[in-house]
Amino acid sequence: MLIWRANLREGSLQREAVPEAWSRLGGRGLAARIMLDEAPPTCEPLGPNNRLIFAPGLLVGHMLSSCDRISIGGKSPLTGGIKEANAGGTTGMQMACLGMAALIIEDQVPAAGEDRTRWRVLHLSQEGARLEPCADLAGLGVGEAAARLLKRYGDHVALSVIGPAGEMRLSAAGIQNLDKERVPSRIAARGGLGAVMGAKGLKAVVFDAKGAPKPPIADPEAFKAAQKAFTLNLASHPQTALYRDYGTAAMALMCNALGALPTRAFSSGWFESAEAISGERLREVTLERGGDSTPTHQCMPGCVIRCSNNYGGPDGKSLVTPLEYETIGLMGSNLGIGDLDTIARMNWEVNDLGLDTIDLGAALGVAARAGLMAFGDGARALELLQEIRRGTPLGRILGHGAAMVGKVFGITQVPVVKGQAMSAYEPRAIKGTGVTYATSPQGADHTAGNTVRAKVDHLDPKVQAALSRGAQISMAGYDTLGACIFAGFGFAVAPEVVPALLRARYGRDVPPDILQVLGRETLVLEREFNKRAGFTPAHDRLPEWMTQEQLPPHNSVFDVSEEDLDGVFDW
């Protein structure tokens, strides 16, 4: 495994040995380590000194179920702090086959962004790197751009590609990756890394592992045994069946029952039309419509959970893949929209623009508070998304996400932390997830440590900090392994599997609690970067209004103490 370092100003590629201090990390942890070692924490996120880092997790490359995720990292233009966003799909696997411990993209294409002739594709293969012009792709949505890139470079490649949002350097722009059917639908969505890529002048990175060997395994037998145990644990877990049948959308009714489904711009936790946007309804519709429609689908080869789906229209033709709970919560109930077809159309549009559906849904909710659309008006919401495609001032405001909409229109009830929008778990009703939103170095993000499944009183402020601490450590660990959060169901049943897999893969000893070791190390690195970037405990807070305005139906406020918030990382 080597570090691949591409400098866009020079058009050069170096392949370097992995420094000792980096060698036990992967994915999110490695991205944090590299950022701390190389990028000035106070650098301008859209400037030449920021890095864009692609790092497959430590377990990537072996078709371990749900463990081939790619982490993308850098300094976030949305939060101003460290950022890692990860995705499924095929990018991680191709990187691992190419022997990349990480790809570090430095500097910018000269005069990046000044006109369409400056756009470049970075093609990486065993032969090295080629930086090729792609003026024909400028302004294209990710769907059309990916189709042309696959035609140009072959169907076998993996792609990381930005849409018009990334080109416009919008802070809610993500980086799209291909799923196993080569649909650009696996987005490293959060925190504006698409804008970082756009600022560098890159429209796409092509990973072409043709002819490359599989990544080595130190002890294949031991690996196989551990893999088998993991797969069995995972396949037989009751949550796996739930997610296979209903996908992440299974959370809609559960959250509504908890009073935690963001509704009408986070003004309520209960949506009267929750049934109509539930996982149950999604399953019913997709089965009924047939054609492309399916309630269960793998985002990457080897996954036994298959929580993805393909949502077809009345004619069965795909409207979007996948339709996830976060999108349903933020673009459905949060906008008062109780109709899956409308949500699917919005989802496709946002995917194709290369944007984060969470921040966009939250942005439209704030826009509704500002009078730019009525709650429930899906047609108007779709019109607003077209403003982004046209690059109008209003479109750009929306494409920068919820915090920007609030700022420009003077709305203070904005559901963000560190500038990043909350996911579809209302922190006044699931207070442990609220602690994660407040304190995660990533900004508000359920994937940083969701506590919704914990068997506790989610309204009791006293028990939440410890819960969030454990969840944040585990999630940072999974993100360093390249494991999907749902792989955790399998790991939780048999915690000895993670160390067994790592020992077999790398031929070195690791402690039994390696998941937590990696998680804690990652969080320490991220927090150190943020500290140097200027973050303090004052930034580890939910927005003031959520500590004062009561949320129906429980009429609760976020009341976890500041002492508890400040102690989350005291382990």
Residues 96-125 that bind a second copy (CB under 8 A): 113
Q: Does the footprint of a second copy cover residue 539 (CB under 8 A)?
A: yes
Q: Is residue 120 within 8 Å of residue 131, measured between CB atoms?
A: yes
Q: What are phi and psi of 210, to 5 degrees?
A: -55, 130
Question: Which residue, 408 or 493, is less far from a second copy as judged by CB?
Answer: 408
Question: Which residue, 180 or 539, is less far from a second copy as judged by CB?
Answer: 539
Question: Which residue, 109 or 323, is less far from a second copy as judged by CB?
Answer: 109
Question: Which residue, 199 or 253, is less far from a second copy as judged by CB?
Answer: 199
CA dihedral sign of residues 404, 409, 414, 418 = positive
Please give the Cα distance from 247 to 195 (Å, whole number): 29
Total Cβ atoms within 10 A of residue 536: 8
Q: According to CB under 8 A, which one of 11, 47, 302, 470 is a site residue for a second copy?
A: 47
Please give the Cα distance from 240 to 243 (Å, whole number): 5
Q: For the chain, how many residues are written?
A: 571
Q: Does the footprint of a second copy cover residue 380 (CB under 8 A)?
A: no
Q: What are phi and psi of 273, to 5 degrees?
A: -105, 30
Q: Does the footprint of a second copy cover residue 171 (CB under 8 A)?
A: yes
Q: Is residue 380 within 8 Å of residue 374, measured between CB atoms?
A: yes
Question: Which residue, 9 or 130, is less far from a second copy as judged by CB?
Answer: 9
- Amino acid at site 391: G
Site string for a second copy, 421-450 (x = CB under 8 A): ------------------------------
Q: What are phi and psi of 429, to 5 degrees?
A: -110, -25
Q: Is residue 197 within 8 Å of residue 175, measured between CB atoms?
A: yes
Question: Which residue, 42 or 236, is less far from a second copy as judged by CB?
Answer: 42
Query: Of 18-26, 99-107, 131-139, 409-417, which part binds a second copy (CB under 8 A)?
Result: 409-417
Query: Of 312-320, 395-403, 444-452, 504-512, which part binds a second copy (CB under 8 A)?
Result: 395-403
Burial class (CB in 10 A: 0-12, 13-18, 19+), 114: exposed
Q: Which residues pair with 71 in a beta bridge?
A: 55, 86
Residue among 567, 566, 549, 570 at smallest CA distance from 558 = 549
Q: Does the footprint of a second copy cover residue 533 (CB under 8 A)?
A: yes
What lies within 8 Å, CB to CB, of 156 at 6+ separation is 208, 209, 210
Reported in sequence order, the residue ranges of 446-506 that DSSP labels E, i.e. its strands, are none
Please give the Cα distance from 470 to 467 (Å, whole number): 5
Q: Is residue 169 within 8 Å of residue 355, measured between CB atoms?
A: no
Q: Which two tokens stand for residue 450?
A: 């969701």
Q: According to CB under 8 A, which one of 211, 238, 410, 511 is a site residue for a second copy?
A: 410
Q: Does the footprint of a second copy cover residue 396 (CB under 8 A)?
A: yes
Q: Is residue 329 within 8 Å of residue 353, measured between CB atoms?
A: no
Q: According to CB under 8 A, which one of 138, 235, 394, 454 is a site residue for a second copy?
A: 394
Smallest gap from residue 534 Cβ to a second copy (A): 3
Q: Does the footprint of a second copy cover residue 408 (CB under 8 A)?
A: yes
Q: According to CB under 8 A, which one of 195, 226, 250, 515 is a site residue for a second copy?
A: 195
Please give the Cα distance from 469 to 440 (Å, whole number): 10
Please give the Cα distance from 571 to 466 (Å, whole number): 9
Return the CA Rg of the chain: 22
Q: According to CB under 8 A, which one of 168, 303, 319, 344 is a site residue for a second copy?
A: 168
Query: Of 5-13, 214-222, 435-443, 530-538, which part binds a second copy (CB under 8 A)?
Result: 530-538
Q: Does the footprint of a second copy cover residue 20 (CB under 8 A)?
A: no
Smallest gap from residue 399 Cβ to a second copy (A): 9
Q: Does the footprint of a second copy cover residue 46 (CB under 8 A)?
A: yes
Question: Which residue, 40 or 128, is less far from a second copy as judged by CB?
Answer: 40
Question: Which residue, 123 or 169, is less far from a second copy as judged by CB?
Answer: 169
Q: Does the footprint of a second copy cover residue 81 (CB under 8 A)?
A: no
Smallest gap from residue 563 Cβ to a second copy (A): 15
Query: Of 145-153, 286-294, 316-324, 543-551, which part binds a second copy (CB under 8 A)?
Result: 543-551
Q: According to CB under 8 A, which one of 24, 169, 180, 503 is a site residue for a second copy?
A: 169
Place of tokens 């059309």: 144
Place of tokens 């470079």: 153
Place of tokens 């000035």: 40
- Amino acid at site 497: V
Residues 217-276 that bind a second copy (CB under 8 A): none
Question: Which residue, 536 or 563, is less far from a second copy as judged by CB?
Answer: 536
Q: According to CB under 8 A, which one of 16, 38, 275, 544 is a site residue for a second copy?
A: 544
Query: Of 31-39, 166-174, 311-319, 337-345, which part binds a second copy (CB under 8 A)?
Result: 166-174
Alpha helices for 271-391 (secondary structure H):
279-289, 325-331, 340-353, 357-369, 378-390
The site for a second copy, by CB under 8 A, has a size of 40
Residues that bind a second copy (CB under 8 A): 40-44, 46-47, 49, 113, 168-171, 195, 198-199, 392-394, 396-397, 400, 404, 407-410, 412, 532-539, 541, 543-545
